[in-house]
Amino acid sequence: MQFPATNGDFTFVSSTEAEDLSGTISTPDVKLNMGGDGGKDPYATTFLRQRGYGWLLEVEEDDGEEIKPLLEELDIDLKDIYYKIHCVLMPIPSLGYNRQVVRDNPDFWGPLAVVLFFSMISIYGQISVVSWIITIWILGSLTIFLLARVLGGEVSYDQVLGVIGYSLLPLIVIAPLLLVIRPFDVVSTIIKLFGVFWAAYSAASLLVGDEFKTKKPLLIYPIFLLYIYFLSLYTGV
């Protein structure tokens, strides 16, 4: 006599049919909760979060930003500095250099390197001039900037600071010559005047624009005096 019935997941059959039945019971996939992602937090984690210290358990995600080179971090473009050096040392327009980049795209590290190098070669005379050269560069550029603005020039202080700093390069070029021809007073004086005119022309041609019109000498003259003072700090006169 058969008594088939269903109760949940179990089916009751008669004893005569049970002999022909066979099968297996699969083991359920049971994962123990050891405080992982699927269950509750461990006691220590819960304890910290309840007391407001959950931030100790936070892990900062990597934002994926690449580590930039040091020169890029400091915004130092060696190719740009090298090109500006050429523009200052070769101020003749016919040479094809875009000299306005020295004024229109000012930087700080290039002029600072030029001023520091000029200070280093001036140490042989007296070491105290190093601080003076840096001070005159900053204050002299500020004076030229204020005068240019009063005269109606459209320049910023960082532009003047960069142009004045880069234009020290002609004085650096003539420095080795002055060491050689020091005994010859006449030749030495000519080389000094040539270096000062070279530096002043390079700076004035960038800073003195057409907006000054008839007032150009009022700005060219102090620029010329500034480089004479720089040269006097180098020669110790």
Q: pLDDT by residue for the chain (237 residues), tens digit each?
A: 444 544 445 555 555 555 555 555 555 544 444 444 444 456 667 766 666 656 656 665 555 456 667 666 767 888 888 899 888 888 887 777 888 888 888 888 889 999 988 888 877 656 667 788 889 999 999 999 999 888 887 888 999 999 999 999 999 999 888 888 877 888 888 999 999 999 999 998 888 877 666 777 888 899 999 999 998 887 765
Integer CA distances (angstroms), 213 to 147, 153, 208, 210, 217, in order = 15, 10, 9, 5, 10
Q: Could you give the CA distance from residue 139 to residue 227 in angstroms, rounded to a whole number?
A: 13
Apex 63 CA angle, 60 and 64, nearest 5? 135
For the residues of 131-155, what is the DSSP string, one character each?
A: HHHHHHHHHHHHHHHHHHHHTT---
3-state secondary structure labels for all residues of 66-92 = CCCCHHHHCCCCHHHHHHHHHHHHCCC
Instruction: Domain ranges for the chain, please list them.
Output: 73-83+90-235
What is the pTM for the complete model shown?
0.67
Phi, psi of 51 (to 5 degrees): -100, 15
Length of the chain: 237
Q: Is 1 strand, coil or helix? A: coil
Nearest to 110 by CA among 122, 97, 101: 101
Q: Could you give the CA distance from residue 68 to residue 163 in angstroms, rounded to a whole number?
A: 29
